[in-house]
Structure 1
Amino acid sequence: MSFKIAIIGAGSVGFTKKLFTDILCVPEFKDIEFALTDVSEHNLGMIKAILDRIVEANGLPTRVTATTDRRKAIEGARYIISCVRVGGLEAYADDIRIPLKYGIDQCVGDTICAGGILYGQRNIPVILDFCRDIREVAETNAKFLNYANPMAMNTWAAIEYGKVDTVGLCHGVQHGAEQIAEVLGAKSPRELDYVCSGINHQTWFVELRLNGREIGKDELVAAFEAHPVYSQQEKLRIDVLKRFGVYSTESNGHLSEYLPWYRKRPDEITRWIDMSDWIHGETGGYLRYSTETRNWFETEYPQFLEAASKPIDASKRSNEHASHILEALETNRVYRGHFNVKNDGVITNLPRDAIIESPGFVDRFGINMAAGITLPEACAATCMASINVQRMSVHAAISGDIDLLKLAVLHDPLVGAVSTPEEVWQMVDEMVVAQAQWLPQYAHAIPAAKERLSKSAVKTREWAGAARRNVRSIEELRAEKAALKQAG
C-alpha cells in the first residue's frame, strides 16, 4: 500500500514517534509517506532526524518529509493527524496562572474549566484552517484524526464548521480499563470486556465483564479500596464510583476539575488528591510535567536519537487508536475502540449535537458506532453540564463573541463553584488580553477589555494553589531517574 499521512504538530516529538512506530507495525504500511509539519523548525528537525534513523535502522522504504508549510504537508494526504498545542507552554502557563488569581485551582486545565475553555479559543481558529486545507488540497474524502485537546471542542468545530470527516482520539478509556483489570486480578487487560460511554474525559464504564462474569459496583469498590496504590492515588475517583455506581475513565486530578464538589476549597483539594504523581491532582501538575519533559528532551536529545536505531518491535505497539483505525480502514481487519464523534442519537440521553466518546467498530466501510446506549442519570447530568459549556465555547470561538465566552466560563462547574460573576468577567478579560496573539477572533474586543481591566475594582491574589510543586531542574531529574534505576 502507498498513501500519505500528514502529522500536524509533529514537533510533539515523543508522541509523533509513538504514532510513527505504531503505524509501521502494520506490515502493509511500510511503503507510505509521512509528511511532518510544525510551526517550530527546531522541533521539526529533531523529530525528522529521529524518524529517519528509525527508517534507516529497519531498512524500510518509508518516506519522511518535513516542512513548516502546512498546506504542502497536507497536499495529497489520505489521513491528517493533529497533535497541536496552540500557544505552546507560554499560553498554557497563563491558563493555570491567571485563574489561580481568582481562586480556581486546576490540575490540567485542557478540557473545560477556565484553562480548557481558553485553550479551545486558541485552537478552534487553527482547526478551521486545517479543515480548509484538507478540503482544498488533501486526497478526496480524507480523514482528520484529532488528538489535540480540548478534544470535544476541537472535534465539534471540525465537524460542524470545518465540514471535514473527523474523529477525535484519546487514551483515557484504555488506561482506565487497565486499572480495572489490575485491581480485579486479571492476568491481562484483554480478559476485561467493557462498555464505556460518555464524553471525552467524562466517560463511564457502564458495563464490566471479567472473563464473561459481570462485575458490579460493590465488587469494584472493594477491589479499588484493597489495592495498595490506587486506594491512595484515586480517592476522588473511588468516591465518585461509590456515589454514581460506575467508574470514570479519567484520572483523579482530571476528574476533579469537571465536578463542582472536590476542588472548590483548598482544604478539600488536599483531602482528595495524592501527590505521588502530577496526574492525581497536583496544582498545575500537567504544566509542570510538560515543562520538565520538554527540558529533559532538549538536554538528552542525543540519547533519544541513539535509541531510534533499535529495530521496531511490533509486540510493543501501543493501544493508541490511530494505527489500529488506519489498519482497519485499509485492510478490513476489524478494530473495536472508543471514538469521539457527533452523537446523533448514539447515546440516547445526551444531545444529538454533542461530541461523545463511545464504542465503535472500524472496517473498510468506516467507523460504525454502537447505538442505543443510555447513561446512568448522574453520569448524564455531569456530562450535560460540560456539553453546555462546550457548546457555548465553540460558538464563542467561531463568532468572537466575548460576552458569550464569559457566559461559557461562568457556567463551567468548577468556576461557578469558586468565583462570582464579577470575578469571571474580569478573569476572562485578563486571559484574552494576555493571550491576544493567539486569539484573532477577539482582536476587536481587546481594547475594551484592556480599558475595563484598568478600571476594575475586583480584587485578586497571587496564589500558587493548594498543591503546587516547582519545576525540577535537569540535575534533579537525573538524580531521581538514577535513584529509581538503582532501586529497581
Structure 2
Amino acid sequence: MSFKIAIIGAGSVGFTKKLFTDILCVPEFKDAEFALTDLSEHNLQMIKAILDKIVQSNKLPTRVTATTDRRNALEGARYIISCVRVGGLEAYADDIRIPLKYGIDQCVGDTICAGGILYGQRNIPVILDFCRDIREVAEPGAKFLNYANPMAMNTWAAIEYGKVDTVGLCHGVQHGAEQIAEVLGARSLSDLDYVCSGINHQTWFIDLRLNGRKVGKDELFAAFEAHPVYSQQEKLRIDVLKRFGVYSTESNGHLSEYLPWYRKRPEEITKWIDMSDWIHGETGGYLRHSTETRNWFETEFPQFLESASKPIDPSRRSNEHASHILEALETNRVYRGHFNVKNNGVITNLPADAVIESPGFVDRFGINMVSGITLPEACAATCISSINVQRMSVHAAISGDIELLKLAVLHDPLVGAVSTPEEVWQMVDEMVVAQARWLPQYANAVPAAQERLSKSSVKTRDWAGAARRSVRSIEELRAEKAALKQAV
C-alpha cells in the first residue's frame, strides 16, 4: 500500500519516532511516505536523521521527507497527524506562571483551567489553518488525527469550523486500564474488558470485567488501597473512586485540576498529591518534565540516533491509537478503541455538540461509535462543567471576543473556586498581553488590555505554588538515571 502520512509538529521527536515505528509494524505500510513538518528546522533534521536510520537499518522502501513548508507536506496526504504545541515552552511557562499570581495552582494546565484555555486560544487559529490546507491540497477525504491538547477544544474547532474529518486521540484510557489490570492481578491486559466514556481527561471506567466477571466499586477500591505504590501516588483518584463509584482514566495530578475541591487551597493540594513524579500533582509538573526532556534530548541525541539502528519489533508496538486506526481503515482488520468525536447522542446525558471520548470500532467503513451510553450522574455533572467552559473557549477563540474569553475562564471550576471576577479579568488581560504574538484574533483587544493593566489595583502574589520542584540539570538527570540503573 502506498499512501502519504503527514505529521505536523514532527519536531516532537520522541513521539514522532513512536508513531513512525508503530505504523511500520504493519507490513502493508512499508511503502508509505512520511512527510514531516515543523516550524523548527533544527528539530526536523534531528527527527529525520532518526527515522532515516530506522528505514536504512530495517532495509525498508519507506520514504521520509522533512520541510518547514506545511502546505507542501500536506499535499496529497491521506492522513494528517498533529502533535503541535503552539507557543512552545515559552508560552506554556506563562500558562503556569501568570495564574499562580492569582492563586491558581495547576499541575499540567493543558485542557481547561486558565492555562488550558489560553493554550486553546493559541492552538485553534493554527488548527483552522491546518484544516484549510487539508481541504485544499490533501487527498480528498483525508483524515485528520489530532493528538494535540487541549484535545476537546482542538477537535471541536476542527470539526465544527475546520470542516475536516477529524478524530482526537489520547492515551489516558490505556494507561488507566494498565493500572486496573495490575491492581486486580490480571495475568495480562487482555484479561480485562472495559468501557470508558466521558470527555477527554475526564473519562470514566463505567464497566469493568476481569475474565468475564464484573468488577464492582468495592473490589476495585480495596485493590487500589492495598497497592503499595498506587495507594500513595493516586490518593485523589482513589478518593474519587470511593465517592463517585467509578475510576477516572486521568492521572492524579491532571484530575485534581478539574475537581476544584482538591486543589483550591495549598494545604489541600499537598494532602492529595504525591511528589514521586510530576504526573501525581506537582505544581507545574508537566512544564518541568517537558523542559527537562527537551534539554535531555538535545544533549543525548547521539545515543538516540544510535538506538534507531535496532530492528523494528512488532511485539513492542505501542497502544497509541494512530497506527491501529490506519491499519483498520486500510486493511479492514477491525480495531476497538476510545476516540474523541462529536457526541451527537452517543452519550445520552451529555450535550450533542460536545466532543466526547468514548468506545468505537474502526474498519474500512470508518470510525463507528458505540451509542446509547449513559454516564453516572456525578460523572456527567463533572463533564458538563468542563464542556460549558470548552464551548465558550472555542467560540472566543474563533471570534476574538476577549469578554467571552474572560467568562470562559471565570466559569472554569478551579479558577472559580480560587479567584474573584476582578482577579480573573486582570489575569486574562495579563495572559493575552504576554502571549499576544500567538493570539492574532485578539490583536485589536491588546491595546485596551495593556491600558487596563497600567491602571489596575488588583493585588497579585509572588508564589511558586504549593508543591514546586526546580528543573533538574542534565548532570542531575544523568546521575539519577545511573543510580536507578544501578539499583535495578
In 2, Cα distance between equivalents of 1:435 and 1:42: 24
In 2, Cα distance between equivalents of 1:461 and 1:214: 50
Q: Deviation digits for residues 285-328 of structure 1, max 9, x if unmatched? A: 00000000000000000000000011001100000000000000
Equivalent residue number for residue 41 of structure 1: 41
* Secondary structure, counterpart of 2:256 in structure 1: helix
Once the two structures are TM-superposed, the CA of residue 130 in structure 1 deviates from its matched residue by 0.1
Equivalent residue number for residue 258 of structure 2: 258
- Unpaired segments of 5 or more residues in structure 2? none
Once the two structures are TM-superposed, the CA of residue 260 in structure 1 deviates from its matched residue by 1.5
* Secondary structure, counterpart of 1:194 in structure 2: strand
Q: Deviation digits for residues 95-123 of structure 1, max 9, x if unmatched? A: 00000000000000000000000000000
Q: Structure 1 stretches (4+) deviating beyond 2 angstroms? A: none
In the superposition, the TM-score normalised over structure 1's length comes to: 1.00
In 1, Cα distance between equivalents of 2:264 and 2:464: 15
In 2, Cα distance between equivalents of 1:395 and 1:345: 22
Once the two structures are TM-superposed, the CA of residue 62 in structure 1 deviates from its matched residue by 0.1
In 1, Cα distance between equivalents of 2:311 and 2:212: 37
Q: Deviation digits for residues 21-48 of structure 1, max 9, x if unmatched? A: 0000000000010000000000000000
Equivalent residue number for residue 461 of structure 1: 461
* Secondary structure, counterpart of 1:367 in structure 2: strand
In 2, Cα distance between equivalents of 1:260 and 1:384: 14
Q: Deviation digits for residues 108-149 of structure 1, max 9, x if unmatched? A: 000000000000000000000000000000000000000000
In 2, Cα distance between equivalents of 1:35 and 1:189: 34
1:295-310 matched pairs, under 5 angstroms: 295-310=295-310
Q: Deviation digits for residues 371-417 of structure 1, max 9, x if unmatched? A: 00000000000000000000000000000000000000000000000
Q: Aligned-residue CA RMSD in angstroms?
A: 0.2
* Secondary structure, counterpart of 1:261 in structure 2: helix
In 1, Cα distance between equivalents of 2:254 and 2:192: 24
* Secondary structure, counterpart of 2:34 in structure 1: strand
In 2, Cα distance between equivalents of 1:187 and 1:125: 46
In 2, Cα distance between equivalents of 1:189 and 1:395: 40
* Secondary structure, counterpart of 1:35 in structure 2: strand
1:10-89 matched pairs, under 5 angstroms: 10-89=10-89
In 2, Cα distance between equivalents of 1:457 and 1:403: 19
* Secondary structure, counterpart of 2:318 in structure 1: coil
- Unpaired segments of 5 or more residues in structure 1? none
Q: Deviation digits for residues 160-214 of structure 1, max 9, x if unmatched? A: 0000000000000000000000000001111100010000000000000000000
Once the two structures are TM-superposed, the CA of residue 429 in structure 1 deviates from its matched residue by 0.2
In 1, Cα distance between equivalents of 2:190 and 2:8: 32
- Provide the identity percentage: 91
In 2, Cα distance between equivalents of 1:360 and 1:63: 31
Equivalent residue number for residue 274 of structure 2: 274
In 2, Cα distance between equivalents of 1:144 and 1:120: 18
In 1, Cα distance between equivalents of 2:455 and 2:445: 16
* Secondary structure, counterpart of 1:207 in structure 2: strand
* Number of residues of Structure 1 aligned to a counterpart in Structure 2: 488
In 2, Cα distance between equivalents of 1:481 and 1:349: 47
User: 2:191 aligned with 1:226, yes or no?
Assistant: no
* Secondary structure, counterpart of 2:261 in structure 1: coil
Q: Deviation digits for residues 218-254 of structure 1, max 9, x if unmatched? A: 0000000000000000000000000000000000000
Q: Deviation digits for residues 70-104 of structure 1, max 9, x if unmatched? A: 00000000000000000000000000000000000
Equivalent residue number for residue 476 of structure 1: 476
Equivalent residue number for residue 405 of structure 1: 405
* Secondary structure, counterpart of 2:193 in structure 1: strand
1:74-223 matched pairs, under 5 angstroms: 74-223=74-223
* Secondary structure, counterpart of 1:107 in structure 2: coil
Equivalent residue number for residue 375 of structure 1: 375
In 1, Cα distance between equivalents of 2:394 and 2:165: 18
